[in-house]
């Protein structure tokens, strides 16, 4: 049995606003084991990024965690004091964001930003050894250490994304949360980035939570896939099994909507309706208004999580 790095239990995250309360994450439970890549997928607005930010308590107001646990090596992050969280961020759990240009400070050279990261966690570290460690990290990323002396705007989008990965890995964390890391990259740079991430995963024995709407990305990297819809988990299963035999009607709809150049597709498959209003979500199963296999019980009761064929699936079809 591999060690469980992160265990989320019945997590609920709310955003109180003028017209009600947005239930952005509504009872999510999942586990990440040492060394695995978990792909977290779903439509925009389903709660993926909110879940990722919650792990490091980076929610912007008025967002707040109203229930559940986030256990990192058995310690509940939800109950940690701010000082404990600051010690955890970057050192043990790192995060890379969608747009590295807005995450890197345009006023400082890359070396200054690496040194600041290192000295935040290692107060006695001198500038010279910190600079050398930053240079070694860039070498591991396939970048010349001389580029430490450049500013973010002097680099391409793919290069900036590599720089962000390096800042995430410089403290050798256990867990890396990657939030839509390929969104701003073209397909060639995206392929290179994914190869790099896979290599770094093996080199550093990383556990990765990969948040994305791109099913092609998780197909290349993920060991397991978690599918979210309307703030809830729809299905969790091994990546190969999810692609070959999806159980939840929503997962089936997502996969059917992917263009396939090998098939004669006169038009793309689509799902009827729209994602739910998380201020006033549907009763019962949150997906039932769009489901082509809806039953009466789906409209009345929220489904439990059932286990079938190595999948966990929240659907009355398997009850």
Instruction: State the Cα–Cα distance between residues 177 and 243, nearest whole angstrom.
Output: 23
- Interval 217-231: pLDDT, tens: 899 899 999 999 999
Q: How confident is the model at residue 2 (pLDDT cuts 50, 70, 90)?
A: confident
Q: Residue ranges of the domains in the chain? A: 4-99+216-260+269-285+302-318
Instruction: State the Cα–Cα distance between residues 112 and 315, nearest whole angstrom.
Output: 50
- Interval 178-219: pLDDT, tens: 998 887 778 888 888 888 888 888 888 889 999 998 888 899
Cα separations in angstroms, 225 against 43, 197, 219:
14, 17, 9
CB atoms within 10 A of CB 277: 12
Instruction: State the Cα–Cα distance between residues 276 and 299, nearest whole angstrom.
Output: 14
Instruction: State the Cα–Cα distance between residues 298 and 306, nearest whole angstrom.
Output: 14
Q: 234 is written with which tokens?
A: 């729809």
Report the chain's mean pLDDT, rounded to a whole number.
Answer: 91
Strand order across the beta sheet in which 224-229 lies: 93-96, 175-179, 207-211, 37-41, 224-229, 232-238, 311-314, 305-308
User: Which CATH code is given to the segment(s) 4-99+216-260+269-285+302-318?
Assistant: 3.40.50.300
- Interval 256-310: pLDDT, tens: 888 776 666 667 778 888 999 999 999 999 999 999 999 999 999 999 999 999 9
């Amino acid at each position: 049995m591999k060690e469980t790095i992160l265990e989320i239990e019945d997590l609920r995250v709310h955003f109180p606003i003028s017209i009600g309360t947005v239930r952005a994450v509504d009872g999510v439970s999942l586990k990440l084991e040492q060394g695995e890549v978990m792909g977290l997928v779903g439509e925009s607005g389903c709660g993926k990024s909110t879940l990722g930010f919650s792990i490091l308590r980076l929610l912007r107001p008025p967002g707040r965690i109203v229930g559940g646990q986030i256990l990192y090596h058995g310690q509940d992050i939800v109950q940690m004091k701010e000082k404990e969280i600051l010690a955890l961020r970057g050192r043990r759990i790192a995060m890379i964001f969608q747009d590295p240009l807005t995450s890197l400070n345009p006023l400082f050279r890359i070396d200054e930003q690496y040194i600041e990261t290192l000295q935040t966690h290692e107060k006695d570290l001198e500038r010279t050894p910190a600079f050398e460690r930053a240079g070694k990290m860039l070498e591991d990323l396939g970048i010349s250490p001389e580029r430490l002396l450049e500013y973010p705007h002097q680099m391409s989008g793919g290069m900036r994304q590599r720089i962000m990965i390096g800042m995430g890995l410089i403290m050798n964390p256990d867990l890396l949360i990657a939030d839509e890391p390929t969104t701003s990259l073209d397909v060639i740079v995206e392929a290179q980035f994914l190869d790099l991430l896979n290599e770094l995963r093996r080199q550093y024995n990383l556990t990765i939570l990969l948040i994305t709407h791109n099913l092609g990305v998780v197909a290349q990297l993920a060991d397991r896939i978690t599918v979210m819809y309307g703030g809830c988990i729809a299905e969790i299963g091994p990546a190969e099994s999810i692609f070959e035999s999806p159980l939840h009607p929503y997962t089936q709809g997502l996969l059917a909507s992917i263009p396939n150049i090998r098939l004669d597709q006169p038009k793309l498959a689509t799902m009827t309706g729209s994602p739910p209003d998380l201020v006033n979500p549907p009763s019962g199963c949150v997906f039932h208004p769009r489901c082509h296999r809806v039953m009466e019980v789906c409209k009345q009761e929220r489904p439990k999580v059932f286990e079938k064929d190595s999948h966990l699936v929240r659907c009355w079809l398997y009850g």
